[in-house]
Chains A and B, each alone.
Chain A
Amino acid sequence: MSNSVDDLAASGAALPLAGVTVLDLTMVWAGPYATKLLADMGATVIKLESPDRIDPIRMATIEIFMLEAPDMATKPYNRSAYFNEYNRNKLSLTIDTRDPRGAAALEELVRRSDVLVENFRPGVLARLGLGDDALAALNPDIIRVSMPAYSATGSESRQVGYGPNIEEMSGLTRLNGYPDAGPMKTGISFADPMAGIMAAAASVLALIRRQRSGIPSRVEVSQRDILVSFIGEAILEWAMNGAEPKRTGNRSTAWAPQGCYRCAPLAAGSERRLDVYHSAGQGAAAAERWVTLSARTDAEWAALCDAMDRPELADDPRYRTVEQRIAAHDDLDIIVSAWTAELSDLDVVTALQQRGVPAGRVMSCLDVASDPHLEERGFLETVLHPQAGETRVTAPVWRLHRNPAHVRRHAPCLGEDNAAVLGELLGISQDDIAELDAAGVTATAPRF
């Protein structure tokens, strides 16, 4: 009978990171997103959980969000769409490392791994017995990638934070928002996936360094520092001119009109079901449709006027130059809104793109799920999950040309690969594996 470790490795044998083994100690989003990118590129990723400390995202399922008492017999921890998106292409080992036999297995895994990725608070890895010296003693070639919110050492090592905290401390949140109001946080926990991409890149950078110099790396990826580097023009504006940029929201300082305009709502009866964060009274909101557009030049302004069937506006002396249009932006917003309000978002985009004017609808999550362009590109792939059934997950976002990467395997159920990882990878006998299972050192269900 085939085993999951070799099968998964074989399916990724032509991918760039084939042969690289990653020990994944991360949980929630930032870390698992990092190892998801590595798994997508062919690395063998072993996700380590403990029976009494599973990845909390496993429990982020619809029925638990709704605060209904989950029926644990239905194994909700294996069916979370959230977990199953960001953990596909990985293997799951669920083992109690406080038991000496579990700790020994973890040490053996460290010996067999190329990269260890962790997103604990600073200091926790050492308390788990995997501090720098211990790691080097177990495996002198191992690469260790840590992802502190701020810094693992120094004055910030005691600062804790989640994605939004990090976005705020980076300076980005203060710059976001409507021009006439205060700061606005990003709708997603923006810092998490950015840290994930950077930690994946850092892992590969360390693999390159080890390949070329023979030296393993201890790597730190500061999540906050990533977002600071995303607001450079604001920092240099301060440094050059002593001024902090004003919030511009959807407008541009360089051209006009530019904005986000309301379109005709979805037809009655086709409103969408809002997720569990929302009350029923907000149902109408999900029928809202919005479009964004930019007229960067006089020619694009004329093309916008043509699309609106208002050619006379292109010659209107009040709006002739970009400076005039910026000054009259509020008036232009009224004119553009009157046009878009009667049309569907797709009709507005099509009319403008045919004329070379930048436009895009504000796509919701359900729009992403059904967008014809994304569909033609195979943005979503379907994978059969043993307990969730057919699941739709995003295709690898680094699209390779010669050897395209795909979703090769469902996100593992809790402990699904215990026997395969312990047996095939670590060489533990079937009898010993059965004994670990019977003793509760390994598990396929959480212990709460």
Chain B
Amino acid sequence: MTTTGSDAPAASPLAGIRVLEVGGTVAVSSAGRLLAGFGADVIKVEPPGGDPLRQFGPFPADVPDRDASGLFLWLNTGKRSVCVDYTTPAGRHVLTGLIAQCDLLMTGLPPRQLADLGLDYDPLAAGHEGLAMVTVTDYGLTGPYRDYAATALTQFATGGQMWMTGDPYRPPVKNFGFQAEHQAGLHAFGAALTLIYQVLTTGRGDRAEISVQEAQASILEVNGPNAFNYGTESFRHGNVLRATWGVYPCADGYVGIHVLDRNLPQFFRAMGREDLTETYLNPARRAEDNDLLEAIIYGWCSEHTQQEIFAAGVAAGAPIAYLPRLPELLEWPGLVEKHFWHWLEHAGVGNLPFPASAISIEGARFQLSQAPTLGEHSADILREAGLSPAAGSAEAGSPAAGSASGQ
């Protein structure tokens, strides 16, 4: 790990750090996106058919196109792509050569495939003491479920969060998209940085193993610790846990009212019902009248728009939100002000918005460029690595069987 210039790490904290991503998943791709944004050189190793995420939409006009997958484009800004058929001996040679020259190896491959490819940490780190490695798998590298097949639905189900999501009289319900993997992706990002820091300070690398299941199961709010220690079970509550904690329909959409005891005066002020404050500061009275208070709140919400209710909350200092539509997010003043959206032109697709990082560091920047097409940088990457193109880099071919967990 070297710096590329005297002031480079101030603006780009990870400048000069080379990251290899093998086995595309939402988790690994999203961690790599963040590393790339803060200056790392992130190389995505794709099989001849392309990263499995390229098969997921949305696509322009709903026509599948591996260079225009919305999911792939979003998660892979700022990276380079090399196409390697690592199922062949020549491809394995290329992969090994690339690993030998990287600082961080991130894998999203299932455990069995990691073993088949020889991607075990100890042999890889022999002679490469400073190698950092992060594996993200559905259930971890060990244990009875190690080789279980998974999709975004089954991932979310086995982490404990789905059990608590949904209406009490209907089945548990999955969150939108790939929320289990996104959680694991943040962990992969944090663990990768922690290992990079260890290498910088001690010269020693290590491997961090992230299980998508454990990423979720370790954050079951109060319910997990209570179950682990008191043996009590939790259940799902739907949208309204109690009168002052819920999602309510309003005149033109939905609002979120999530008020703790200390916010009650501000909340009733937002409603224009200061008269309720004294009565309902009493928690026992609030519990007794919960249904009545819900009815009052339903009534208030039904007579106002989400913007009116949200604005009343901001003016009163009460924690009230609303549920914006997607186009509103793109124009949201708070996001526009801080230049959260970066618009990038994609050939044949158009001008599309991509997010900066939720982390902002004074004096540093988050870099974004278009996600690579399949194998776009193969020649450059192999030349830099001193590897012969004939030795196993692959031409983009037909899609391989996907190993990604779909929705």
Contact = CB atoms under 8 A, between A and B. Distances in A.
B256 A360 contact: no
A424 to B, nearest CB: 23
A290 B102 CA distance: 44
Given A188-B164, A234-B176, A252 B352 contact: no
Interface size class on chain A is 35 or more
Interface in A144-196: 150-151, 154-156, 158-178, 181-190, 192-194
A128 to B, nearest CB: 18
B269 interface: no
A238 B361 CA distance: 30
Contacts of B333: 154-156
Interface string A377-405: 10110000000100111100111111100
Q: State the main secondary structure of chain B at its contact with A.
A: mixed
Contact of B121 (A175, A253, A357, A401): A401
B364 interface: yes
Contact of B151 (A167, A213, A296, A403): A296
A237 B164 contact: no
B132 to A, nearest CB: 10
Contacts of A193: 183, 219
A343 to B, nearest CB: 16
Interface stretch (B41-49, B185-193, B295-303, B382-390): B185-193
A6 interface: no
A221 to B, nearest CB: 5
B149 A188 contact: no
Interface in A10-29: 16-17, 19, 29
Contacts of A253: 57, 407
A183 B323 contact: yes
B285 interface: no
Interface in B155-178: 155-168, 170-178
Interface stretch (B79-87, B93-101, B313-321): B313-321
A254 B143 CA distance: 30
Contacts of B355: 225, 228-229, 232
B183 to A, nearest CB: 7
A305 interface: no
Interface stretch (A199-207, A311-319, A438-446): A199-207
B182 interface: yes
A35 to B, nearest CB: 12
A202 B360 CA distance: 9
Contacts of B319: 160-162, 165
A173 B256 contact: yes
B160 to A, nearest CB: 5
A377 B186 contact: no
Contact of A250 (B153, B258, B320, B325): B153
Nearest to B254: A183
A184 B324 CA distance: 14
Contacts of B369: none
A365 B208 contact: no
Interface residues of B, number: 158
A84 B226 CA distance: 11
A365 B220 contact: yes
Given A220-B360, A275-B232, A290-B171, A369 B227 contact: yes
A258 to B, nearest CB: 6
Most buried by B among A16, A198, A245, A356: A16
Contacts of B200: 208, 211-212
B326 A260 contact: no
Contacts of B218: 379, 394, 397
A167 B329 CA distance: 13
B359 A220 contact: yes
Interface in A356-381: 356-369, 372-374, 376-377, 379-380
Interface string B209-252: 11101110111111111111111111111110100011101000
Nearest to B35: A205
A351 interface: no
Interface stretch (B2-10, B271-279, B372-380, B391-399): B2-10
A187 to B, nearest CB: 3
A186 to B, nearest CB: 6
17 contacts: A16-B194, A37-B190, A82-B222, A151-B337, A154-B333, A162-B258, A165-B258, A168-B254, A174-B254, A190-B175, A212-B200, A215-B10, A222-B360, A225-B357, A364-B234, A367-B163, A401-B207
Given A219-B359, A252-B406, A290-B157, 4 more contacts: A85-B225, A245-B176, A368-B220, A372-B144
